[in-house]
């Protein structure tokens, strides 16, 4: 298993840079070198809408979809544009019940088994739409995502692999920014202890667990306590996880420990740990991620 630790800016300087990127997320202008198509697709009878962004003349190396984190998330156009500028056609879509997408947004029980499996169905439907694009024929196709996508993407990718219709596309690789490799309950224990805030000093998962006064009880109405390891151990494709050492939302130490265990039987899994980065480490890590995706397209 390949692991990389990268020293970056001081935590607070990096946070300011990422805040600026977030402000730019409302800018819908498109670079002259890019093109975009608005595409509707069906997911279990619900119509979802997104945009496929791709270079007009530059070589396309791969195609990806981007899966949201939690919250009412619309399509993330600035990310799609930056990826497309590097030759990676990127499909971003409005989460169900948000923006132009139909359906009901689940805000209360967002980490329930039902919702995670529903969002994985949406991700797979988006991926199938991507695979039907003529411009991407013969190219590697992957799933990328942030935060909560760490539970969604492995399920979606495994469902793509397991379906009986062998004519359908399988997922060639996955990239997850700050994607937990833990049970939902373990992330909940950690983020409650940290108040879900990035910090210069981040506690270990063990510290968060030992600080509890009462035992943690998983609410049965949420269904199964979802664990991405169940899918990851059998997926068998290249995967990259990007973590920030100052992440207060997910237990990075426990995620790395679990990932290293899984990688004993799947050496194609890699991770990068950015010192000085928190939960939103997309801006800082994008050049590295783009390079990694391009390498998946190299025989």
Average pLDDT over residues 272-297: 94
d(CA 125, CA 131): 10
Render pLDDT for 245-262 as a digit per residue (tens, 0 to 9): 999 999 999 999 999 999
Two structure tokens written together for 56 = 């007009």
d(CA 178, CA 199): 15
Name every residue whose Cβ is closer than 8 Å to that of residue 180 and which is 6 or more positions away in sequence. Answer: 147, 150, 151, 186, 187, 228, 250, 251, 255
pTM tops 0.85: yes
| pLDDT score of 18 | 37
Phi and psi angles of residue 165, each rounded to the nearest 5 degrees, phi first: -75, 95
| pLDDT score of 126 | 98
d(CA 158, CA 123): 12
Report percent pLDDT > 70 for the chain.
Answer: 90
User: Is 73 a residue whose pLDDT tops 60?
Assistant: yes
Number of domains in the chain: 1
Average pLDDT over residues 57-74: 94
Average pLDDT over residues 207-216: 95
Q: Indicate which CATH number applies to the domain containing 68.
A: 3.40.50.1820
| pLDDT score of 2 | 72
| pLDDT score of 23 | 29
Average pLDDT over residues 50-76: 95
Render pLDDT for 172-198 as a digit per residue (tens, 0 to 9): 999 999 999 999 999 999 999 999 999
Render pLDDT for 108-167 as a digit per residue (tens, 0 to 9): 999 999 999 999 999 999 999 999 999 999 999 999 999 999 999 999 999 999 986 776
Look at phi and psi of residue 195 and say left if phi exceeds 0, alpha if psi is from -120 to 50, else beta: left
Provide the domain limits for residue 127.
2-296
User: Is 69 a residue whose pLDDT tops 60?
Assistant: yes
Is 145 in contact with 228 (CB distance < 8 Å)? no
């Amino acid at each position: 298993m390949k692991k990389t630790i990268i020293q970056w800016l001081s935590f607070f300087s990096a946070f300011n840079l990422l805040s600026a990127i977030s402000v730019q997320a409302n800018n819908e202008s498109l670079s002259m070198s890019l093109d975009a198509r608005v595409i509707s697709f069906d997911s279990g009878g619900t119509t979802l809408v997104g945009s496929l962004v791709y270079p007009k003349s530059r070589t396309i190396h791969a195609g990806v979809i981007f899966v949201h984190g939690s919250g009412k998330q619309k399509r993330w156009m600035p990310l799609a544009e930056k990826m497309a500028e590097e030759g990676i056609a990127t499909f971003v879509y409005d989460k169900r019940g948000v923006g132009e997408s139909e359906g009901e947004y689940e805000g209360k029980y967002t980490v329930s088994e039902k919702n995670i499996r529903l969002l994985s169905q949406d991700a797979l439907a988006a991926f199938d739409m991507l695979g039907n694009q003529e411009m991407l024929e013969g190219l590697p196709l992957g799933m990328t995502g942030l935060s909560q996508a760490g539970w969604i993407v492995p399920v979606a990718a495994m469902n793509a692999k397991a379906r009986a219709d062998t004519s359908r596309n399988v997922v060639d690789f996955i990239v997850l920014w700050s994607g937990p490799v833990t049970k939902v309950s373990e992330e909940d224990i950690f983020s409650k202890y940290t108040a879900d805030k990035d910090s210069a000093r981040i506690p270990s998962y063990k510290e968060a667990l030992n600080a509890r006064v009462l035992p943690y009880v998983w609410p049965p109405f949420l269904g199964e306590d979802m664990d991405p390891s169940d899918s990851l151990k059998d997926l068998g494709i290249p995967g990259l996880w990007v973590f920030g050492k100052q992440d207060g939302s997910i237990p990075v130490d426990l995620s790395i420990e679990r990932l290293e265990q899984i990688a004993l039987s799947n050496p194609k899994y890699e991770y990068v740990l950015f010192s000085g980065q928190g939960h939103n480490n997309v801006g800082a890590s994008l050049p590295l991620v783009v390079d990694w995706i391009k390498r998946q397209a190299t025989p």
